[in-house]
């Protein structure tokens, strides 16, 4: 049985928490553990980290007294006599049990084959000078998943200093950087002059890197056109047209691999990825790195047709942008959302060199929050 005690200020004390009248007029319930854990004094002002250790409590925290004091809830705790004061405005953010607001959680905007002239473009030297340009660049990556940087200096260092504007270089098992050009002993289709079918990179990693950079240092060959499409646009249309296929592709883990003399990377991924809201966040797809599907053959009776319907849809003209990446451009994109490839080229017709690397999406969102919060920078 819950025993409720209403105080003079309208706060109702229950067995495991309190009902508190909040500034908007409504009351919200707060649990005693949560309140004790999140007393403002629990957080170190210098490091901003919680230094209170709730595991040290010998039993459920209970209040000796509860009252409203001005615009704050005041609790004196029975166990140690500690006084906690919680501004009501602060409590209001948590009363409904909703996730706290995140300025980096921007809605995605799907795009189609005609997007090339509208891709957000930023001269790299301007990004280095002006934080507001970096904010716009990250917004483009969060909302559309792709941006092109122009006027990149023709150096290895230029790529590193560009990545450092939004995070750190995130190595993969290929190392920190990769050079896409024709190699004498290629271990990878990318390092040949052959066509590279539409894919996302390194799906055999346990978690494929989030942001991909491809810095074009030279591209004077015949062929070698870039192909880019928005996996979110395709998967959203697929969801409407083939809901049952969509379910299969967003629930089933399929195997990916990357294997050669000295390595044997393997992972399992869902072709369509959903975010915490159940919205499509992206895709993981790569025929050259899809392993032999080791799933029950009767299940494959269902899975393969769905997989092929999706693959055919991906390749359709409605979605694929086709363009030439030029020297001094760097295309930056969400590697879990943007599917990319290139057409074959003639290796003897000129020079083609892209230097690539990755960064982390979580770090990019962190940079965005820090750059857009008042007062963090002088």
Shortest separation between residue 256's beta carbon and Zn ion, angstroms: 14
Residue matched to tokens 């928005």: 230
- Interaction of residue 285 with ligand OGA, rule CB under 6 A: no
Residue choice 149, 190, 330, 339 for contact with ligand OGA (CB under 6 A): 190
Rounded to a whole number of angstroms, the CA Rg of the chain reads 26
Q: Which one of Zn ion, ligand OGA, none interacts with residue 314, CB within 5 to 8 A by kind?
A: none
Shortest separation between residue 203's beta carbon and Zn ion, angstroms: 10
Nearest-5° angle of CA 344, CA 346, CA 349?
145
CA–CA distance, 357 with 124 (Å, rounded to integer): 16
Residue matched to tokens 């055999």: 204
Please name which of 287, 279, 268, 251 lies closest in space to residue 337, comparing C-alpha atoms.
279
Shortest separation between residue 202's beta carbon and Zn ion, angstroms: 8
CA–CA distance, 336 with 231 (Å, rounded to integer): 8
How far is CA 72 from each of CA 9, 27, 44, 95, rounded to the nearest angstrom? Answer: 11, 14, 20, 14
- Chain positions 18 to 37 lying near ligand OGA, rule: CB under 6 A, are none
Contact 224, 343 (CB under 8 A): yes
Closer residue to ligand OGA (CB): 163 or 196: 196
Contact 339, 215 (CB under 8 A): no
- Chain positions 209 to 248 lying near ligand OGA, rule: CB under 6 A, are 226
CA–CA distance, 324 with 201 (Å, rounded to integer): 20
CA–CA distance, 13 with 51 (Å, rounded to integer): 27
Shortest separation between residue 201's beta carbon and Zn ion, angstroms: 4
Q: Which one of ligand OGA, Zn ion, none interacts with residue 226, CB within 5 to 8 A by kind?
A: ligand OGA
CA–CA distance, 329 with 151 (Å, rounded to integer): 6
Closer residue to Zn ion (CB): 127 or 357: 357
Residue 265: strand, helix, or coil: strand
- Interaction of residue 196 with ligand OGA, rule CB under 6 A: yes
Nearest-5° angle of CA 335, CA 374, CA 88?
105
Closer residue to Zn ion (CB): 198 or 272: 198
Q: Which one of Zn ion, ligand OGA, none interacts with residue 354, CB within 5 to 8 A by kind?
A: ligand OGA
| 2-31 footprint of Zn ion as x/- string (CB under 5 A) | ------------------------------
Shortest separation between residue 164's beta carbon and ligand OGA, angstroms: 22
**Token pair of 77 as six digits:** 């705790």
| 317-346 footprint of ligand OGA as x/- string (CB under 6 A) | -----------------------x-x----
Please name which of 264, 245, 258, 251 lies closest in space to residue 286, comparing C-alpha atoms.
258
State CA 366 to chain mean position distance: 11
Closer residue to Zn ion (CB): 162 or 226: 226
Nearest residue (beta carbon) to ligand OGA: 190
- Chain positions 185 to 214 lying near Zn ion, rule: CB under 5 A, are 201
> Sheet holding 330-334: strands in order across?
120-123, 146-150, 330-334, 211-219, 352-359, 178-180
Shortest separation between residue 261's beta carbon and ligand OGA, angstroms: 20
Q: Which one of ligand OGA, Zn ion, none interacts with residue 38, CB within 5 to 8 A by kind?
A: none
Closer residue to ligand OGA (CB): 178 or 368: 178
Beta strand 253-260 with 263-270 is antiparallel
User: Residue 93, exposed/middle/buried by CB under 10 A (0-12, 13-18, 19+)?
Assistant: exposed
Q: Which one of ligand OGA, Zn ion, none interacts with residue 342, CB within 5 to 8 A by kind?
A: ligand OGA
Shortest separation between residue 356's beta carbon and ligand OGA, angstroms: 6
Shortest separation between residue 183's beta carbon and ligand OGA, angstroms: 11
Closer residue to ligand OGA (CB): 16 or 322: 322
Give me the residues paired with residue 234 across strands. none
How many residues of this chain bind ligand OGA (CB under 6 A)? 8
How many residues of this chain bind Zn ion (CB under 5 A)? 1
Site residues, ligand OGA (CB under 6 A): 180, 190, 196, 201, 226, 340, 342, 354
Site residues, Zn ion (CB under 5 A): 201
């Amino acid at each position: 049985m819950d025993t409720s005690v209403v105080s003079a200020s309208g706060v109702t004390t229950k067995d495991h928490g309190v009902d508190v009248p909040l500034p908007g007029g409504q009351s919200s319930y707060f649990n005693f553990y949560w309140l004790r854990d999140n007393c403002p004094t629990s957080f170190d002002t210098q490091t901003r980290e919680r230094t209170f250790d709730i595991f040290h409590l010998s039993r459920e925290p209970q209040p000796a007294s509860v009252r409203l004091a001005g615009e704050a809830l005041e609790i004196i705790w029975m166990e140690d006599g500690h006084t906690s004061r919680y501004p009501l405005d602060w409590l209001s953010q948590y009363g409904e049990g909703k996730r706290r607001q995140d300025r980096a959680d921007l809605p995605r905007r799907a795009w189609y084959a005609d997007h090339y002239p509208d891709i957000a473009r930023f001269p790299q030297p301007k990004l280095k000078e002006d934080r507001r340009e970096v904010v716009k660049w990250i917004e483009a990556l969060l909302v559309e998943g792709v941006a092109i940087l122009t006027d990149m200096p023709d150096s290895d260092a230029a790529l590193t200093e560009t990545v450092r504007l939004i995070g750190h270089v995130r190595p993969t098992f290929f190392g920190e950087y990769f050079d896409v050009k024709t190699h004498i002993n290629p271990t990878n289709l990318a390092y040949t002059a052959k066509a590279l079918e539409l894919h996302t990179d390194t799906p055999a990693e346990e978690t494929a890197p989030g942001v991909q950079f491809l810095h074009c240092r030279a591209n004077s060959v015949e062929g070698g056109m870039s192909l880019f499409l928005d996996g979110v646009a395709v998967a959203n249309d697929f969801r409407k047209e083939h809901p049952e296929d969509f379910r299969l592709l967003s629930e089933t883990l399929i195997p990916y691999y990357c294997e050669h003399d000295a390595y044997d990377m393997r992972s399992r991924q869902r072709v369509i990825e959903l975010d915490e809201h159940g919205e499509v966040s992206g895709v993981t797809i790569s025929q050259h790195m899809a392993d032999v599907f080791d799933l029950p053959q009767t299940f494959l009776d269902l899975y393969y047709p769905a997989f092929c319907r999706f693959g055919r849809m991906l390749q359709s003209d409605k979605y694929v942008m086709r363009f030439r990446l030029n020297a001094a451009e760097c295309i930056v994109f969400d590697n879990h959302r943007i599917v990319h490839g290139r057409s074959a080229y003639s290796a003897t017709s000129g020079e083609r060199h892209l230097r690539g690397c990755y960064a982390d999406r979580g770090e990019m969102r962190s940079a965005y929050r820090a750059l857009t919060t008042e007062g963090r920078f002088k």
